[in-house]
Amino acid sequence: MARTNEEPRQQAPAPATALATAPVTGPATASAPVTAPGSGAAWVDAYLERVGAVRPSRADTGALRELQLRHLMTVPFENLSIHLGQDIVLETERLVAKVVEDRRGGFCYELNGAFAALLRELGFRVTLLQARVFGDGGRLGIPYDHMALRVETDDGTGPWLADVGFGDHALHPLDLEVRTEQDDPCGRFRFREAPGGDLDLLCDGSREFRLDPRPRVLADFRAGSWYHRTSPESRFTRSLICSRRTEDGRVTLRGRTLITTARGERQETELNDDAEVLAAYRDHFGLTLAHPPAVRRQCG
């Protein structure tokens, strides 16, 4: 599953040119309920409003870069549903509604599943890919540990790896055909051939995950999602995480610890009471909660 490193690498600010279309200042305010995917364009406009983007005139590389960046800066990577006792359903309509109508985030299956629906409606050709994340000592995680997206554009470039569900990761899509290093504000990324036709993605020389290039469908990821939201061995059942990219770094709420990184400077603040926790979720992530989530004890 996605890496939840809330202590990001030394990050450069997001490039100003990528933010030129409209300002991105954090989570957007509430909007009207969305229409289910497949039944019209209203939900697409609501999704674009959610991430502070305009509808692109064509499905090219520039539009993909802009959409990924804005998604990372407005929709948080979070695992709160696990600890709030909320079900996670891998159906496109439910995923889009959670991001757009409920103004929530999610983990990789939810975020990349919803993003894939948006990209397809805008004319991009999207394939779901499964990956296994490298853990301690280089040990690979379970199959369907992570969902990523293979995206084809109409300008003849790529194909691209797009990913809005891996926490502290590349801001820009990565060219899947290139085997040399690709510079990104979050590091230097490189694809390396792996056994069985797979690809290892490295960042600054460290392996991130092993990508299987064979096409998948959303239902294929149900077992991985179930594992990560129920197993005592999953890091997502053992801790609370809510994190998003900012213009000059990252903001993360880990339990009751608020962590901000701006231009390489890291600051931790311990929140004293429930009111401060709820305010942090609201002010930094646009999440309005009735009560602070708490880690649920898992059996096993």
Task: Point out the residues that are catalytic.
Answer: 108, 146, 163
**Angstrom distance (rounded) from CA 296 to CA 271:** 20
E strand intervals along the chain: 77-78, 125-133, 146-152, 160-162, 174-175, 182-184, 187-193, 199-203, 206-216, 242-246, 249-254, 257-262, 265-270
**Angstrom distance (rounded) from CA 93 to CA 260:** 33
How open is the CA angle 79-85-88, to the nearest 5 degrees?
60
Given the DSSP bridges, would you call strands 125-133 and 206-216 parallel, antiparallel or unpaired? antiparallel
DSSP alpha helix (H) spans, 182-296: 222-230, 235-238, 274-285
Q: Which two tokens stand for residue 300?
A: 């096993």
